[in-house]
Structures are given as C-alpha cells and as structure tokens.
Amino acid sequence: MYGLVNKAIEQMVCRHHGEAAWEEIKSRAGVEVEVFLSNENYPDDMTYRLVGAASEVLKAPAEDILKAFGEHWVTYTAQEGYGGLMKGAGKTLPEFFANLPNFHTRVAMIFPNLQPPKFRCTDVTDRSMRLHYISHRAGLSAFVVGLIQGLGKMFETPVTVTQVDFRERGAECDVFLLEWEPRSPA
C-alpha cells in the first residue's frame, strides 16, 4: 500500500486523537515504522493491521474508520502533495472523476512497484455516475466511499455514494453509484 495512505491514517489519528493514541495503535498493530514515506510501497497487511488497531483503540467500527480515513486523505493528506495536480484534474467532481483513471495510470507509470487501483466511470450524467473500483485489495471499499465524500467536499458538491456491486459478493468489482446535485455555474 502506498505510504501516503498510512500517512493519512497517522495524520488523522494524531489530529483528532493525539500522538499517544497513534503510538498505541502502532504498538498494537506491531508497526515500528517511524515515518511513512509517501511513495514507498508498504505491505497491505500493515495498513489492515493499523486500521484494525485503530478500530480497537478508537472503539469504532473499522468501516467507519476507513471512511473517515478516506475523507481525510482527500481533504488533508493528498492536498499536501497532490493539491496542484488534483486541482488541475478538474474543476468539478465529474471532471475530476473523468481524469481519475488517467491519474492512476500515471501513478502506476511513475512507481511501477506500486499497485494503485484502477477506476472506470460509466453511466456518466450531469448528476450521477457509476464508479468501478478495480483493486486486488479487498475490504477497502469503505475507504473509497470516504475518498469520494472527501472529493465532494473538495469540489463543494455534496455527493451520495451507494455501493451497488460488491466484489466480496461475487461481483467482478466494487461499483459505486455517485449522485450529486448539479452545481450552478459559478
């Protein structure tokens, strides 16, 4: 997993729960990494353990935590490094999603060792679309939901996310239905 993801977990926990909580989580997760490198590939297992430990320490379901992480990732973490690029990727939520596959393609191109997920947009309308999330990793759909909601906040477009297909239930991939209110042109 991309170090940026773990970093997001760290930042979010530290910001809302303090460093002691983070150290406790790391300790429970058996993680001894001091500083996560954004572009480094870390074992997926580490992320899962961190999420699991955070769930225990913060006493919240893992799903909620993943969601919160996703949102935080977009609103804070990615802004630090990718703010410019994210802004360049579109002025609106649909524009952004339209560019998202290219974005991840470029990530895969630059860091061949990372295995970023693939995104595909279908059934795009001015107020909805289906986002296909294709990843070899399981159990992160809540994280994706959080990401999407974060993006909605970023583009000031409240978005409703409904997972319509579940990989864990045999679907080819996770599919999310995104719905938003069209924004009046500024």
Binding residues vs another protein (CB under 8 A)? 3-4, 34-39, 80-85, 87-91, 95, 99, 102-103, 106-107, 109-111
Question: What is the rounded distance in angstroms from the CA atom of residue 73 to the CA atom of residue 150?
Answer: 8
Question: What is the rounded distance in angstroms from the CA atom of residue 18 to the CA atom of residue 171?
Answer: 39
Question: 89 vs 173, which CB is nearer to another protein?
Answer: 89
To the nearest whole angstrom, how small is the minimum distance from the Cβ of residue 117 to another protein?
Answer: 16
Question: 64 vs 156, which CB is nearer to another protein?
Answer: 156
To the nearest whole angstrom, how small is the minimum distance from the Cβ of residue 32 to another protein?
Answer: 13
Question: 36 vs 73, which CB is nearer to another protein?
Answer: 36
Question: 47 vs 141, which CB is nearer to another protein?
Answer: 47
Which residues lie below 8 Å from residue 87, measured CB to CB, with a gap of 6+? none
- Cα–Cα separations (whole angstroms), residue 78 to 38, 48, 58: 10, 20, 23
To the nearest whole angstrom, how small is the minimum distance from the Cβ of residue 80 to another protein?
Answer: 7
To the nearest whole angstrom, how small is the minimum distance from the Cβ of residue 103 to another protein?
Answer: 8
Q: Order the strands of the 118-122 sheet from edge to edge.
A: 118-122, 128-134, 174-180, 159-165
Phi, psi of 18 (to 5 degrees): 90, 160
To the nearest whole angstrom, how small is the minimum distance from the Cβ of residue 116 to another protein?
Answer: 12
CA dihedral for 106, 112, 116, 120, sign (positive or negative): positive
Question: 84 vs 185, which CB is nearer to another protein?
Answer: 84
